[in-house]
Structure 1
Amino acid sequence: MLNLDGREKKLVINIKELCKSHNITMSELARLSDIEPAKISALANGKRQRIQISHIEKICSTLNITDANEIFTIANIDE
């Protein structure tokens, strides 16, 4: 958790939005990136506390994203 401006923040990985903008399903992303579907689902639903750097690299590579910052959003904990 991040603490910016006195409020706790979390890093959100925008899996659903990425899949929609690339016209693929989360299942396809899992298959193409060689990440377990359950892990993709957990990331998409904010259920994972941590993400492996290798997963970020695989998602970026699969979706041809050159700047990993494109897949993250910083949100308030209470959102």
Structure 2
Amino acid sequence: GYVNGYIMEKPSGNKGFGYDPVFQPEGFEKTFAEMSSDEKDKLSHRREALDKLKRFLNKLQLYKQNLSSNYKI
């Protein structure tokens, strides 16, 4: 996943780690380091990637169920 945003000139906030104090997501007025965990999780590129993986695995499971019901061994 990815998150569009801006690199700020000065760090702001004390939560998070790494680039959080200097990264401001597009459409927001605060950096990741200023956001609550819940706010940040909703925007997280890792969360987006995990959601995509979950959807893929669910589709794969449905495919396997359909395949096994059509071809009983």
TM over 0.5: no
Question: Could you say which structure has the greater relative contact order, defined with CA pairs below 8 angstroms and 6 or more residues apart?
Answer: 1
TM-score range (shorter-chain normalised) is: under 0.3
> Please, what TM-score do these two structures have when normalized by structure 2?
0.27
> Please, what TM-score do these two structures have when normalized by structure 1?
0.25
Higher gyration radius (CA) = 2
Could you say which structure has the higher strand fraction? 1
